[in-house]
Structures are given as structure tokens and as C-alpha cells.
Amino acid sequence: MAGLYIHIPFCRRKCHYCNFYSLASVKYFDKFVDALQKEIKQRAHELDEPLQSIYFGGGTPSMLEERHLSRIMHTIFSHFTILQDAEITFEVNPEDITEAGLQSFHNHHINRLSLGIQSFYDRELQYLNRIHSAQTAISAVELAQKKGFHNISIDLIYGLPNATAKSWENNLEQVFKLNVPHLSCYALTVEPQTALARFIEKGQLENVSDEAFEKQFEILIKKTEKLGYQQYEISNFCRDNFYAVHNTNYWFGKKYLGLGPSAHSFDGTTRQWNVAHLKKYVDSVNNGQVSAESETLTLIDHYNEFVMMRLRTQWGVDSSLISKRFGQKMGAHFTSIASKYLKSGHLKKSGTIIRLSEKGKFISDGIIADLFFTEEQD
């Protein structure tokens, strides 16, 4: 079973923190949709398994007009085998949600919405340069539910300098009050080359702080548990088994095809990423082959990805598999590093499965980096 990712590279305006590939202009929208349809036809053969999930991300997929969505969906459905119960997710910005748009999503088999809300506080939304207001976000969720969408995910961002422990707690409570079954929470990171990085450098916006992150991450873990959400991945929470199928398949190393500028693909051994430039993307597809780079994963890369992806999830790492899959050296390395963190209580073991403990979740990046194997150790 495989996944399909479609990257829609347009936004109404850029959020200060964003480093995803997207353009705040719709100049090439029609040319992009033409090229995307061509890329679907050119590359559908690369997946030899039926699709268990389709994910429209970006950028802002909800900027697609119905005529665009119809053409894209028609091309996807005529070139892939899609499982009857496939998860089809559409990323939507709250300001784009309308009754007509929701009806169009139903008509085009979309059965899961991922809403980029980020915060239910206007002052926090302004810091991030989001277009919507807190009230627009609430109304968008309510309208989507009224129109029959219950498999909804909300994205929130924590660690904002103008957030408080209370506002962060209230943000989480608001998701619960809205009866939304899935939540993705990301720490605000100041990426180089973003407007946020420039504003902070010039002293026009307040910088983020490690203490705020730690405090808000702690609140996140405690509060979500209290509200009945299960932390099934370090940044992802759900109730009633509303796991995100598409993302879970990434963490389990399943194959996926990524189409559109900057989209990544993985066929089990090779990772490929399309050019992150709209004009180059369109021209290359029109010339018969998308401009892309690729790398073939070594055994060490496979081990590092396996450890990183699994340890971030509730399913953990099955330590009995490491030597069998990756050989004695990596098996011994894993056992030796893991035992150090088992002793310190940052990892816990149940049978052969090793997982992050509650306190380990606070330093997960460091533990994972320590478990990595390098060529020098080979």
C-alpha cells in the first residue's frame, strides 16, 4: 500500500515563519495545474501498489478552484488504483472554508480536512502573519462539521513569545471543545531566510525562548492526555483511533509518490525531490521529465531513518529487528546507546520494544542523534 502527495505551491500571503515552498502569487496557477496533470500521467507507473492515502499539502491547496480540483482528481482517479477506504486529506486554511467549497470536497472524494489554524488568539495569529482570525477558525471548523466532515485535524504552533502558559492551554482546550479528533502541534522554529528571522534580527519581533518551548511542551503532553488525546507521535495526537494514515505510513517507511514543485518521493530505496521552483517545474514537465534530484539510501541511512521515525511514535523500535535488518555492528551500537538511556529513564522497554519515556520526549532529538550510526563507526 502506498501514498500520493500533491504539493500546491500557492499562498495568499507568506506567513512570517514559513519555509515551505510556496509563492504569494497566482500568476502561474493554470500552467501549474496543466503541468501537474502531465506529471501524474508521466509518473503514475512509479507506484506499483494501490493508494491507501492521498494528501494535498502546500502551500494552500484550498486556493484551488473547483475546476482545478476536478481536473486534478479526474487525472488521479484515472491513473492510480485507489483503495475503497483510502484516506484523502486536503489542507485547508480557515479563511477559505465555504459551504460551496465543502460540497466540492465531498464531490471529489475528500474525506479528511487538515486545518492550518495555529492559534485561537488573534495576537498570536498576527505574530505569525496568518490571514484568519480566531473567530474565523472556530466558524470554519463548525461549518465543516455541519457539512459532514468529522475526520478533521487542526495544526497548532507552540513556543510563540507572545503566548502564555494559559493561552496555550486554552488553545488545546478549544480543540477539545470543537470535538476535533486529531491534533498536530509543532514548535515554532526560526528558519533562516524567513521574514521571522529578519524581524527578530532587526529587533522588530520578539525572539522565541527555550524555556517557553519546554514549558509549553510539558503543558501539551499533560493537557492532551487529560483531554483524552493519545500522543501517537511526538507532534501528533488523536482520539478514537483517528490516526493520520498518510503520515503514519511515512513513519513506517512505506512508499509514496510526491508530485508538484518541491515534493518528495520514496520508493523504498531511493528518495527523490522535485525542483523547488515553479517555472523550472512547469518547463521540465512540459519537456517530458520533471527536474528532480535523488539519493539512494545506504544501509546506514535506512537504519538511521528507521530509528528516528519509529522512536518518535508510540509504536517504538523493535530492538530484535535491528541486527536482523541492519547487521551486528548497528545492532550492537543500538543496544549500547539505548541501555544508557534505559538506565537514565529516558527510554523504557516492554519486551523487545523500546520507546521514549515521558521524560525522554523532552530530549528526543538528542537521544535520536545519539542512536544514529555514522560511516566512521562502520
Q: Hunting for cell 467549497 — which residue is that? A: 101
Q: Of the two residues 26 and 83, which places its CB atom closer to ligand SF4 in the complex?
A: 26
Q: Residue 184 interacts with ligand SF4 (CB under 6 A)?
A: no
148 to each of 39, 110, 113, how far by Cα in Å? 32, 11, 11
Q: Is 259 helix (H, G, I), strand (E, B) or coil?
A: strand
> Which of 296, 314, 313, 297 minimizes the C-alpha distance to 305?
297
Residue 20 binds ligand SF4 (CB under 6 A): yes
Stretch that binds ligand SF4, among 10-18, 247-255, 272-280, 340-348 (CB under 6 A): 10-18
- C-beta of 236: minimal distance to ligand SF4 in Å? 18
Cα distance between residue 4 and residue 59, in whole Å: 16
Q: Which of 2, 6, 8, 15 binds ligand SF4 (CB under 6 A)?
A: 15
> How far is 252 from 313, CA to CA, in rounded Å?
10
Nearest residue (CB) to ligand SF4, 52 versus 60: 60
Using DSSP's 3-state secondary structure scheme, residue 270 falls into strand
> Crossing angle, helix 319-326 and helix 328-344, to 10 degrees?
160
Nearer to ligand SF4, 3 or 116 (CB): 116
- In 3D space, the residue among 159, 46, 137 whose CA is nearest the CA of residue 92 turns out to be 137
Shortest CB 141 distance to ligand SF4, Å: 17
- Smaller CB separation from ligand SF4, 87 or 96: 96
Dihedral of CA 233/239/241/243: which sign? Answer: negative
Who contacts 236 (Cβ-Cβ below 8 Å, separation ≥6)?
182, 183, 184, 185, 244, 247
Give how many residues touch ligand SF4 by CB under 6 A: 11
Q: In the bound complex, which residue of the shown chain has the CB atom lying closest to ligand SF4?
A: 18
Nearer to ligand SF4, 94 or 331 (CB): 94
9 is a site residue for ligand SF4 (CB under 6 A): no
Interface positions, 130-159, toward ligand SF4 (CB under 6 A): none
Whole-number Cα distances in Å, 344 to 238, 338, 341: 29, 10, 5
Binding mask 99-128 for ligand SF4 (x = CB under 6 A): -----------------x------------
Query: Is residue 176 involved in binding ligand SF4 (CB under 6 A)?
Result: no
11 binds ligand SF4 per the rule CB under 6 A: yes
Indicate whether 187 belongs to the interface with ligand SF4 (CB under 6 A). Answer: no
Sheet with 317-318, side-by-side order of all strands: 317-318, 353-356, 347-350
Which 3 state secondary structure label does DSSP give 265?
strand
Shortest distance in whole angstroms from residue 329 CB to ligand SF4: 41
| Given 14, 198, 280, 349, the residue binding ligand SF4 (CB under 6 A) | 14
- Binding to ligand SF4 (CB under 6 A) within 24-83 occurs at 58-60
DSSP code of residue 234: T
Interaction site with ligand SF4 (CB under 6 A): 11, 14-15, 18, 20, 22, 58-60, 93, 116
